[in-house]
Structure 1
Amino acid sequence: MKELHDIQEVYFIGIGGIGMSALARYFNAKGKKVSGYDKTETDLTRQLVKEGITVYYEDDEKHIAKAADLVVYTPAIPKEHKGLLYYRQNGYTLLKRSDVLGAITKSSFNICIAGTHGKTTITTMTAHLLRHSGYGCNAFLGGIAANYNSNFWSSEKNVCVVEADEYDRSFLKLRPDIAVISAMDADHLDIYGTEEEMQQAFVDFAGQVKKGGTLFSKWGLKRSADLKADHHFTYSLQHSNASTYAANITNREGGYAFDVYTTGGWLKAVALNMGGLHNIENAVAAIAIAKQLHIEDEKIKAAIADFKGVKRRFEYIIPPSGNSQTVYVDDYAHHPAELEALIKSAKRLFADKKCTVVFQPHLFSRTRDFAEAFAASLDLADEVILLPVYPARELPIAGVTSKMIFDKMKNKNKRIMSKEEALHWIKNGYGQNTPNLLITAGAGDIDQLVRPVKEILER
């Protein structure tokens, strides 16, 4: 492979993926010719086109960039993809996204955030904090930062804030100076086989921290004693045995005010303008990093107060206000633990409202492996609409459907619907004369419902 600075043209297979699009933006910002393929047009791919990147939606040889110096692909692309086969058969330099990210960050100071949940918000908060405070960083995010409407930005400062993805063991290609591990709950068992094997990957990730580097892990993680780094600190929502934690939490207009104890003492009167107690914990992790970098307290507080969140992470589509009975929250939650945190936090913030969750399970294998846990999480809602399983990269598995979760739920106020039926149901009588909290959740294409649902509710 050529050195990165010598590459002139890059082609991406799966360019619309959140991690892939960040890399596409990186090369585009460096003045390289960038194009790629994705199977569906989305708001993100339309934005890439506006930025000067060519995107194709047909798997056709005529769209292949034959002059490409580098071809980047995601493991989610099927092996029989025509473009992938062409590049393989014709000797092109073909790399996974994780290899390219590893090469980009080879000589930078890296802050890498990992975890089965929480990592996107912590990464985005950290990158925003460094940018807002004037410290500066390059950012490779796994979500769209609402402050900047992007998942990538560049800086002259040789510091990279990177979302470290555990899928396909991608994060083991990174060498952090500062690392975070937010959660190690079982997931991606189609890759790892067992929870123990997946946890071992996080132990290995901790082992990637550079000599003299720092690891922040959530207090109480399984195998915490096996997470080794020259400097190891813990963080927590409120556990006072952790190195950094929050206290004196109060609700504040759909967000929170709280204090944070750090190794340097108390940071008082922090304001976070987004919902979800888990997002206070995410902010605690970002603040711990900022303190490690010696960013001033007032700059930290100003940055957190200015943080507008991440698209589809406890995102207020219809925020709490005097004008509407309904609060509408959209979230990427696709694991039982994420769903539980989402529903509990939302119900705590809006205890006077009836909580309805529209959930789209993501992957047949995840639905099969965690059906009982999904059912228990969804039982926390007052009412549940289950959509069909979104297959993503998978072929159907016999007997695995949304009904698997449905049958294990104790909540009797539940239905299975298609996306079209759910829209019709919301249009015709959902929430009449009732103060409502509506949540749409999932990692598939449920985000396509957000705009029409908002329009219905606002009418």
Structure 2
Amino acid sequence: MSLKTVNSVYFVGIGGIGMSALARYFHANNKQVAGYDKTPTEITGDLQAMGIKIHFEDNVEQIDAQFLNPEQTLVVYTPAIPKTHAELNYFRSNGFEVLKRSAVLGEITKDTYCFAIAGTHGKTTTTSILGHLLNSCNVEVTAFLGGISQNYNSNLILNGTKITVVEADEFDRSFLTLSPDMAGITSMDADHLDIYGDAESLQESFVEFSKKIKPNGKLFVKNGLPLTGITYGIDDDADYSAINIKIIDGAYVFDVKTPNTTLENFKFNLPGRHNLSNALIALAMTVEYGIPHQQLAEALASYTGVKRRFTYQIKTSNLVFIDDYAHHPQEIDAVHQAVREMYPDKEVLIVFQPHLFSRTRDFVDGFAQSLSQFDKILLLDIYPARELPIEGVTSQWLLDKIQNNNKKLVQKSELIAELKQTNAQVILTVGAGDIGEEVKHIKEALSVAS
């Protein structure tokens, strides 16, 4: 089935961040779009406001008749959907073309000039920076983002079809469906061991991804990774390096050393060296593509970030409240570095919701070490997502390993009361589960309290 001849697209798991970007894309291209998801969220509400029909019960009878014609309907699903899902099994049993989200992305991007960002950390922010740089520099671009860009209030930038920008997801080896012209790899740390089994298998999949680049394409890799490509790094001998870094009024001001010259006076408003590194690879790729220095500098200065990536909710002299998606020990370390750099003399409280029983099991000592760095820790129960419980893997088990006396296990229903009582000047909510749904309530409560 050609994507051009498809009349209707049905999404099983439409509320996922990557799935919803595709739903927006097909809706904007005048396809009939509908879908199922497990629970209503802000994302599903936004899609419904666009006129996309969504239901929240796994029931074929709730699907509109126009989506039940296998000659005209493409079905897209996310790997997070269980194999027992009734709707998905109905489509598979009745002659429908059923594709993973990643395969659809591969189809959309294969005839375009494609930028793809991979990595166990940093890919969403990097993809959104890259999409913003290209769009702001008047390039015809469609960018599929793994988060909600604050510049566009969307996970889709739609401004022409000449170039595509995609997040190349290593989960379930999804990124192997892509064939980019330029690819970036930000990190290759152990993760998704429920899929890969061990760190070596994960690294091998990144090597395989690097071989998917089109002939005469370019690979960009963080300096130190075991891959051959154009390197980037902060204050080091990489091909592209951020140098002369200063913090002025809460923003990074820096120069970029390239293989040929030094590009001066970039301004970047996101805190944290990890975010500066993400900006650097986006700049390296756009410089190699041929966009002029001054245009890039103006575009980068106007970038405002991705929701749930070190997103300020409250920023006053008395209280700072930041929300972040970090769900791996190295990501928590990056959040810690950023908050200590920006607020070196303030007491910092972190609320952390572990994501997945398997990830908690695989990295429990790393999580304990990362969380122990904060002044106070409030730990929520593990968010299961697609998983069933694993015996002995609990938040209490993690809490007992944290080397810090200012720690406590709390329920979500108790969280606001706990936060109202704290005297910490910086509060962080961190995790990839449904803690993001609590942020607006916490913000309201803390705004009234302060």
After TM superposition, the score normalised by the length of structure 1 is: 0.95
Per-residue displacement from partner, 1:101-137 (whole Å, max 9, x unpaired)? 1111111110000000000001000000000111231
Per-residue displacement from partner, 1:402-459 (whole Å, max 9, x unpaired)? 12221211111111111111211112x212xx5x111110000001221111112211
Q: Give identity over the alignment, percent.
A: 49
Report deviation, 1:263. 2.3
Which letter does structure 1 place at the counterpart of 2:17? I
Q: State whether residues 73 and 94 of structure 1, in contact with CA within 8 Å, keep that contact through their aligned partners in structure 2.
A: yes
SS at structure 2 position matched to 1:365: helix
More displaced 10-residue stretch of structure 1: 267-276 or 172-181: 267-276
Q: Distance in 2 between matches of 1:31 and 1:135?
A: 23
Match of 1:3 in 2: 2
Q: 2:404 aligns with which of 387, 411, 423?
A: 411
Q: 2:230 aligns with which of 229, 233, 247?
A: 233
Following superposition of structure 1 onto structure 2, how do residues 144-163 of structure 1 map, counting pairs within 5 Å?
144-163=148-167
Q: Distance in 2 between matches of 1:213 and 1:182?
A: 17
- List structure 1 runs of 4+ shifted beyond 3 angstroms: none
Q: Distance in 1 between matches of 2:355 and 2:250?
A: 28
Number of residues paired by the alignment?
443
Q: 1:331 aligns with which of 324, 330, 345?
A: 324
SS at structure 2 position matched to 1:5: coil
Match of 1:66 in 2: 68
Is residue 216 from structure 1 mapped to residue 216 from structure 2 by the alignment? no
Segments of structure 1 that go 5 or more residues without pairing to the other structure are: none
SS at structure 1 position matched to 2:382: coil
Report deviation, 1:157. 4.0
Match of 2:21 in 1: 22
Match of 1:122 in 2: 126
Following superposition of structure 1 onto structure 2, how do residues 133-172 of structure 1 map, counting pairs within 5 Å?
133-172=137-176
Q: State whether residues 189 and 195 of structure 1, in contact with CA within 8 Å, keep that contact through their aligned partners in structure 2.
A: yes
Match of 1:257 in 2: 253
Segments of structure 2 that go 5 or more residues without pairing to the other structure are: none
Which letter does structure 1 place at the counterpart of 2:234? L
Q: Distance in 2 between matches of 1:31 and 1:137?
A: 18
Query: Using a 3 Å threshold, how does the CA distance of structure 1 residues 157 and 96 change in structure 2: closer, same or farther?
Result: closer
Following superposition of structure 1 onto structure 2, how do residues 246-325 of structure 1 map, counting pairs within 5 Å?
246-319=242-315, 321=316, 324-325=317-318
Following superposition of structure 1 onto structure 2, how do residues 417-436 of structure 1 map, counting pairs within 5 Å?
417-427=410-420, 429-431=421-423, 436=425
Is residue 350 from structure 1 mapped to residue 343 from structure 2 by the alignment? yes
Q: Distance in 1 between matches of 2:402 and 2:30?
A: 53
SS at structure 1 position matched to 2:4: helix
Per-residue displacement from partner, 1:126-171 (whole Å, max 9, x unpaired)? 0000001112311011011100011112233411000000000000
For the aligned residue pairs, the C-alpha RMSD in angstroms reads: 1.1
SS at structure 2 position matched to 1:6: coil
Which letter does structure 2 place at the counterpart of 1:448? E
Which letter does structure 2 place at the counterpart of 1:153? I
Q: Distance in 2 between matches of 1:299 and 1:156?
A: 19
Match of 2:54 in 1: 55
Q: State whether residues 360 and 388 of structure 1, in contact with CA within 8 Å, keep that contact through their aligned partners in structure 2.
A: yes
Report deviation, 1:252. 2.7
Which letter does structure 1 place at the counterpart of 2:371? L
Q: Distance in 2 between matches of 1:333 and 1:237?
A: 21
Q: 2:200 aligns with which of 196, 199, 202?
A: 196
Match of 2:85 in 1: 81
Is residue 449 from structure 1 mapped to residue 441 from structure 2 by the alignment? no
Q: State whether residues 131 and 157 of structure 2, in contact with CA within 8 Å, keep that contact through their aligned partners in structure 1.
A: no
Per-residue displacement from partner, 1:298-357 (whole Å, max 9, x unpaired)? 1101111100100101111113x4xx4111110000000000011111111101210110
Is residue 402 from structure 1 mapped to residue 392 from structure 2 by the alignment? no
Which letter does structure 2 place at the counterpart of 1:37? Y
